[in-house]
Structure 1
């Protein structure tokens, strides 16, 4: 019978099973095909030829997942019916894998969402635990050919296993290269008597033997990658490299077999050794930058801890320890797993699950990190210390990411896509030309061209430049969600600022009160109402009022852009705008005001005399020549005259702006073709932050960051905003220069290769050196940019 491959997994068929006019190697592959077809997912096979893996037999293999204590260690989130788990799946290798794994909800309705992290080969699954247990989920994934790799050591704090395969391959290639060079000495020095008479054949076949592990082990990654690319109809960069190695090996084997010459085994083993060495250094460098990004770019999230004396203190989340009693205000994020002690808890877990419906919790219930309290103030006891990288993961969750244009990446992808085709045309044309004069030179030219011209340096310029800038910005207290934000910052021509809590400082405002004096009971209720809010004016007024016993409101509601209301023992309090508290006929004031009503009776207002942040005047003066500037404020025009004196003449100012008005203003600017950066406090500005090309939330060390923003700027670094934007622009210039360097390198290298002046082994040395030189150039330039901030 003619040899055939399985329609599902691509393996060679030994016992053929035919179903739906297609051939399968086993019942498992046939069953998976049936599942996909019955659920309308047959287009899985259109993305790639034989993309699946043959499912194995798993009886009893995952019984340990039925143990609740073990399953709990694997789960990221477990609250009632909803569970979230991240699983490592080694078989993820192509676009079809991503497609099927992100459409699991069509196969199992209990799965609400699944997101693949392709570089890490992990999948994050959110599912209903009533209809699908963790064990069932793992068995289901295994049954469709995506068996997870589960190591409990990883989840118990042990170190993940390091992939040392590249080190082993480097060792094999280096050992073989050294020995082949040694055995080639008689040929190099033309020791004819000794060489020709006795040991020529032995030495040549020894060189052949040393090249075998190099060809079939050390270089296997290039052949596997080239094969997968060709199978998917893609000419990736590993195709010419693999082709060059095959030509060298076949030509060399023929030469020693028919005694035509000594072959090119030294070039072949040297080529693989230097390519592997270059890959090793590139990997080490990239891992270093990834480490910097994953663990050092923490944004400044603070939390309120209640001391043993009952006092409140603001601390960094990294200082939270197991057993600490912490205070979570309205709209704050829960940074650690803990137990609810008191207060009315309604937790929005959309950060974790993507589901926005809030969950009601009672005293004694477990609360999970990543939930947002949306109903007043609560107190909880921490069950563990915080992992800042987990909060970074929540902030970067793909559920909340708006895909924004990344022109450099798309440009490089287009170049790389056509690069291999052009390279092969040049290689074959040059070889054909030399074949008429010197066959040996033709072979050298062919392999040298395939090796020397590589878009690796071109492809590395963008991630290394932007990756290093991410790290530098993080060290300077400017925390970006991803590298694409830098490119958007560089393109910006318009900056829009919120006023209260953004260009004004919460810590330096002075306040006066006008109206009926509050009783001690009313002022106590006002203090406890403000205690639950995170609005900048609320925090400022809260700090000013006298100390009172802590009494958590029985009811609490915060209306974005309007005010807050609370009830305690039938005593009602409203704080906010005059309209919100029911005030009529009040004389206007030229300053920001917060109005108070108790039990539906208007009491008076607190008038704020704003103090602007240090450096605001200089920052706007520096921004004015290059950028269109705007101020959006929810307050009245009381500060307009003062702002006109403080800020440049052409700064546009809009007052009495509701959150929806700010959003529409950003949209109007974008319709004019402007690239906008919105800077706000992250509370009333969420819509505008999400709509703008770059949304920057200013942080005063409060635990209210939002997935709507693209960056978080520490308030102390606010005067450096222009410096960050300039560094982003310079970073784009560094990328352009490094791309130009890469092109010049390829042009010069191709010239010497095509003209026969470059040997394959020299090309193998120069290729990784070009990539490393680009990395060194971008790192040096970005470090210099960082020093200027």
Structure 2
């Protein structure tokens, strides 16, 4: 079979030929013509599959002709240049980057373009005098890189990037390096005239370097400790703040009264390593959007139909927010309906899977209500707005209190759980040691008391969790499991109930299973069936066409389609009917259709032949996954579909799995809440906007996605559908993370005990502190890094 020269897809028998090259569609041919005419045909040497087929529908981006809408999309606008940042999900390789960054060669109105590959965005500078935004978008669409523009783009706020941690880390690192350099003569007690003369200058310089470290770089620890004490909580920042304070005061005291060099090296090193751990913990997959609501899915503009008595004639492009009750709008094929509306004209076949999870499209008659979030799948519609976008059915989900509260913030991680005990223990040891030394040598009391607080500062303890979880975060990312925050890993370790959505989660959105029941079709009939399915735009027809073996395509002499019923075609005096049972078998005595099945019936030359039964294909890993998870977790399946798949699921899943069907979004949310009230720690795994409430309510909400950059509602993590079977592996890794953190605490305790031996006996010198404190931090970082890698490899081997 021939392959398309542009996109690499397999060409059908009716492939286009141009310039002695094969193309699967006119769009690919057009892209080739554009590139070759601009001397850019060496683009095809960059990658084996450089492009993708343009599939943009006519009129889809007409709303960009409205200046009010385009103003909201542009980042900057002047007479000379406009700047816009566009999300393009189809960016997938170096060739894509190359084409998009060479847009200026395709149109003189484009000044330059810069691609952000991780975020799959392109920032374009263009001249509005030479090319309008609408023309620019259509140029991208013709190249096969259709931007994703939604309602959220119109009211997005300026992105604020907090770089304060980086600045603090930089200051601490600069001071640490210089203080260590200035301290070397003191370490080795070098007896040299000039060094001895300038040691006082060095000490005061070290003091000066430490001031911005304490009062700027370490300020976050003092604020956190104060808030913790104010709330009656001894968090990990309390002993850290105490240690930093004592280090600074004692060191300053020694310098002021010429008693010694102090512990400025340990002080700056401590703050530097602590901030390094916090920076590592903050590092996450920022290019993924974990906080999407309905605005990320709804169109920003629509076509409103104006009546003759209004100022604007015929049609105009308006913002979705400006729609009011009574307005009439056009909805094109495969467009999302942004408001609750009433059908005025057209044949409506609405796919509500985005809202309810129900996979089978619903036929809507004139005058009936269509809910926001439904997608039209059968041509052009004219509808009348019943409610504004803020009042529609789907947006009511976001009025639930669960979206106004942060249920995650109360989680207390393992480090903070033990910090209270640690602080009390250290204070007790320091006081007891001071009392003992009071009777032995009262002049040593202050030195021993402060030495205990200095050496016991829990730097290694504070680094254990950030570096362990940060390393696991990176491992998960390599396995295509993207977490919003590192502490989600700790939450996963405590999960004892897992709730799965069905459609799009347990089933694949890209594959269907098909079985045929009835009289076998001849090769001639199969060919006619394929030709008829190919001419239809019905989702079931398209699905069946993609699944069936491709026979020779025939030219149809006659073709008609009745939306919601079926289609009829004639070729070489042979007729065929394809569609619903009542439409196909109206003149036959064939058995009626069974309930709760997705079927396509066939009759040829007025003789009923049989039916194709389509089922979503369940992910092949679910049986093993459920058996593995069921060993220590309660498992549940919630579905917006009817219970037609119950028997199939009962065969696939363990008997202990509890299933509920016909679940609305609010039902799913309440189900999660009920489990939590029973004391369960719940993980919800879903895929659609209808799962958003349940995902937010759950302790850990995971979205499974075929495309991690686009359709993903608010969640804690995004799971690539290709690694669905590794969920049990991720649970095992999160538990390994807990064990590694506990082992790190033991190492930290070991170092503290050694240091306490020096401190209590009054032998804690600056050089001992300078060795022990950084050594404990570095060894903890090394241990957590190696341990997490070993755990990841061991678990992966078990899975294989």
After TM superposition, the score normalised by the length of structure 2 is 0.52
Distance 1:216 1:288, change over 3 A: same
Quote the residue 2:597 is aligned against: 592
Distance 2:614 2:487 in 1: 39
> Match of 2:624?
618
Match of 2:501 in 1: 498
- Alignment of 1:698 with 2:698, yes or no, is no
C-alpha distance 654-743 of structure 1, shift in aligned 2 (>3 A) = same
3-state SS of paired residue (1:695)? strand
Report the Cα distance in structure 1 between the residues aligned to 2:554 and 2:276, rounded to whole angstroms.
57
Equivalence for 2:56: none
Describe the SS at the equivalent of 2:482.
Answer: strand
Q: Say which SS state the counterpart of residue 717 (structure 1) adopts.
A: helix
Aligned residues of 1:348 and 1:374 also touching (Cα < 8 A)? no
Which position in structure 1 is the counterpart of 2:774?
768
CA, structure 1 residues 347+502, in 2 after alignment: closer, same or farther (shift >3 Å)? farther
- Whole-angstrom distance in 1 between the partners of 2:701 and 2:273: 36
Describe the superposition over 1:49-77 as per-residue Cα deviations: whole angstroms up to 9, x where unpaired: xxxxxxxxxxxxxxxx9985899769999
Question: C-alpha deviations, 1:110-154, integer Å up to 9, x for none?
Answer: xx99999896459xxxxxxxxxxxxxxxxxxxxxxxxxxxxxxxx
Structure 1 residues 471 and 716: alpha-carbon distance in aligned structure 2, compared to 1, 3 A threshold: same
Aligned partners of 1:240 and 1:420 also within 8 Å: no
Q: 1:221 aligns with which of 210, 213, 216?
A: 213
Q: C-alpha displacement at 1:177, in angstroms?
A: 0.9
How many angstroms apart in 2 are the aligned matches of 1:114 and 1:538?
Answer: 42
* 1:727 matches 2:733: yes
3-state SS in 2 of match to 1:607: strand
Aligned-partner Cα distance in 2 for 1:741–1:710: 31
Q: Which residue of 2 aligns with 1:24?
A: none
Q: Residues 542, 344 of structure 1: CA spacing in aligned structure 2 closer, same or farther, 3 A cutoff?
A: farther
Residue 272 (structure 1) shift: 2.1
Shift of 1:717: 0.9
8 Å CA contact 2:460, 2:748 repeated in 1 = yes
Runs of 5+ in structure 2 lacking a partner? 1-74, 88-154, 230-237, 304-314, 322-326, 333-371, 379-401, 519-524, 556-562, 567-578, 583-590, 602-607
Show the counterpart of 2:268: 276
Taking structure 1 as the reference length, the TM-score comes to 0.53
CA distance in 1, matches of 2:376, 2:268: 58
Assess if the C-alpha contact under 8 Å between 2:407 and 2:697 holds in 1: no
Hey, what does 2:651 align to over in structure 1? Answer: 645
Work out the CA distance in 1 between the residues paired with 2:448 and 2:270.
22
Change (3 A) 1:448 1:415: same
C-alpha separation between the residues in 2 aligned to 1:475 and 1:743?
Answer: 32
Matched, 1:264 2:225: no
1:278-677 counterparts in 2 under 5 A? Answer: 279-280=271-272, 283=275, 287=279, 293-294=285-286, 403-405=406-408, 409=412, 412-413=415-416, 416=419, 423=426, 426-427=429-430, 430-431=433-434, 433-435=436-438, 437-438=440-441, 441-442=444-445, 444-505=447-508, 506-510=510-514, 527=537, 530=539, 540=543, 543=546, 589=594, 592-593=597-598, 607-677=613-683
The partner residue of 1:714 within 720, 732, 745 is: 720
Shift in Å, 1:428: 5.4
Q: Distance in 2 between matches of 1:523 and 1:66?
A: 47
1:206 matches 2:181: no
Q: 2:448 & 2:472 partners in 1: Cα distance? A: 40
Q: By how many angstroms is 1:632 displaced? A: 2.9
Compared with structure 1, are the counterparts of its residues 273 and 731 closer, same or farther at alpha carbon in structure 2 (3 Å cutoff)?
Answer: same
- C-alpha change, 1:711 and 1:433, in structure 2 (3 Å) is same
CA RMSD of aligned residues (A): 5.6
| Cross-structure match for 1:386 | none
Q: Distance in 1 between matches of 2:662 and 2:373?
A: 28
Contact kept in structure 2, 1:445 and 1:753, CA below 8 Å: yes
Structure 2: distance between partners of 1:116 and 1:236: 35
CA–CA distance in structure 1, aligned partners of residues 554 and 485 of structure 2: 44
| 404-413 vs 538-547, which moves further | 538-547
Separation (CA, whole Å) in 2 of partners of 1:221 and 1:348:
51
Instruction: Supply the distance in 1 between the matched residues of 2:86 and 2:593 (Cα, whole angstroms).
Output: 52
Change (3 A) 1:443 1:480: same
Task: Report the CA distance between 1:728 and its aligned residue.
Answer: 1.4
Matched-pair contact (CA < 8 Å) for 1:241–1:450: no
Q: Specify whether residues 774 and 116 from structure 1 end up closer, same or farther in structure 2 by C-alpha distance, changes over 3 A only.
A: farther
Distance 1:411 1:248, change over 3 A: same
2:637/2:659 contact within 8 Å kept: yes
8 Å contact from structure 1 (residues 451, 764) kept in 2: no
Aligned residue in 1 for 2:765: 759
User: Closer, same or farther in 2 for the Cα pair 1:289/1:662, shift >3 Å?
Assistant: closer
- Per-residue Cα deviation, 1:632-671 (whole angstroms, up to 9, x for no partner): 3344444333333332222223334444443343333333
Q: Deviations along 1:565-607, whole A, 9 cap, x unmatched?
A: 9xxxxxxxxx9999xxxxxxx95636632699xxxxxx99973
| Contact 1:245 1:447 (C-alpha < 8 Å) held by counterparts | no
- Please identify, of 274-283 and 725-734, the stretch whose mean Cα deviation from structure 2 is larger: 274-283
- The 5-angstrom pairing of residues 142-291 of structure 1 reads 164-181=170-187, 184-186=189-191, 206-223=198-215, 229=222, 237-251=240-254, 253-254=256-257, 263-265=259-261, 268=262, 271-277=263-269, 279-280=271-272, 283=275, 287=279
Gaps of 5+ in 1: 1-64, 78-111, 123-159, 187-194, 257-262, 302-328, 350-357, 364-371, 379-398, 531-536, 550-556, 558-562, 566-574, 579-585, 597-602
SS of the equivalent of 1:611 reads strand
- Structure 1 stretch displaced more, 240-249 or 416-425: 416-425
Quote the Cα distance in structure 2 between the aligned partners of 1:289 and 1:667: 30
Q: CA deviation at 1:224?
A: 5.4
Partner Cα distance (1:121, 1:694) in 2? 29
Contact 1:333–1:704 under 8 Å retained in 2: no
> Matched residues in 1 for 2:249 and 2:695: separation?
54
1:739 maps to which residue? 745
Give me the whole-angstrom Cα distance separating, in 2, the residues matched to 1:649 and 1:641.
12
Partner of 2:106: none
2: CA distance between counterparts of 1:716 and 1:577?
Answer: 36
Superposed, which structure 2 residues align to 1:55-66 within 5 Å?
Answer: none
How far did 1:768 drift? 2.7
> Per the alignment, in what secondary structure is the counterpart of residue 718 of structure 2?
strand
On the 8 A contact 2:274/2:459 being kept in 1, the answer is: no
Q: CA deviation at 1:492?
A: 1.8
Give the aligned partner of residue 393 of structure 1. Answer: none
